[in-house]
Structure 1
Amino acid sequence: MHGHTALHLGTLDDLRVSVADHQGATVLSLVADVFGGRGHGVPSQWRRMVLDAAPSTAATVLRPLFDPGYSVIPDCVTPTASMPRGDVLTQCEQLRDLSADVLLAELETEFAGEVPTQWRPVIDRPTQWIRAYAQVVQAVWQAFVPVWERARPLLERETERVGSAVVRGAPTPYCPGSAAVAG
């Protein structure tokens, strides 16, 4: 079935818990909330910061990624799949070097040759779309870096808390307020 992503984790006993301060996951959450209509709990001041920093074309560039009927982000441009260490600026460099053929092949596979309407502009001008997408991601991240840096002590404390719980064999559930930035 196409048009959605399914995540199968297995049994709870088989899950390994880890915490990572992943810039790419944060950027994806920001753009999904601000431009994709997907509530990720982004505070209003951060939403305004993202809107002010993003190019005026951001909503148009990001539209194919968050369409309600076919919410698909190809792996080759997903900030979480294509950047295991989470460095957004490195990912933006990699995006600019990404072959349009790689993106087109992933879209062909994902949609079995029947690319939805919202992806047509990408199919028609893949190189331009990739560059525009990289520009949006980079602008959003550069605006958000100061917030990320201020949150670093909270992220480190949350990592220690979860790590301690995992070592004890008793991961504790998420406690609201225990970390300021998801990522």
Structure 2
Amino acid sequence: MMRPKQRDGADAGFSLLELLLVAGLGAVLCGVALQLLLGEARQGGALAQRLILRRLQRRTLQLIKGDLADAKRWQLQPDPQPEWPCPMAHRDVLIAIHPAHGSAPVLYSLGSAPSGIWRGQVLMRCGPAFDLQGRSRASSTYQNRVVLDAIETIKLHQPVGLPVIEMELEQLLNGGTNNNHSKPVRSTAVG
């Protein structure tokens, strides 16, 4: 019977240099994989934040459309009036929506935040409170509330001869700072 030839001790296994090379190559591959995973996590977080901002922008645009649906008329960038129901506190009034039922106008203004919990410039709504079903209560006291924060730009335009308003709204990611050089999140609506 033939026995397999046994190798001597010097030929068995890998040398220390070979083991160190393989360990180094494995560490480099793990580092590359970790960098790829961290990059994916950052992109996923930015995507999630963009989706949240878009949802908030759509909600804001729907709120403004709802106020416009009940309006008999509106004014873009009206002059300040002393009889307005809410103090404007050095904010620019973008639109005054005069309800069909004849109460005080609903005002949307842009300016600095009323407190430190808000980020950057804020869009505020001065209008009647809402009931539990989300409908505006015309007989309620007017409230000045933040609708949206971290606003980069907001543009309102009424095409000549048309009873619609075009609105473009931009917010920056990360609460009004553009540290990661991302593009603003933009929404456009016509109402």
Q: Which has the higher helix share?
A: 1
The structure that has the greater radius of gyration is 2
Structure 1 and Structure 2 fold alike (TM over 0.5) = no
Q: Which has the higher contact order (CA 8 A, sep 6+)?
A: 1
Instruction: State the TM-score, normalized to the length of structure 1.
Output: 0.21
Instruction: State the TM-score, normalized to the length of structure 2.
Output: 0.20
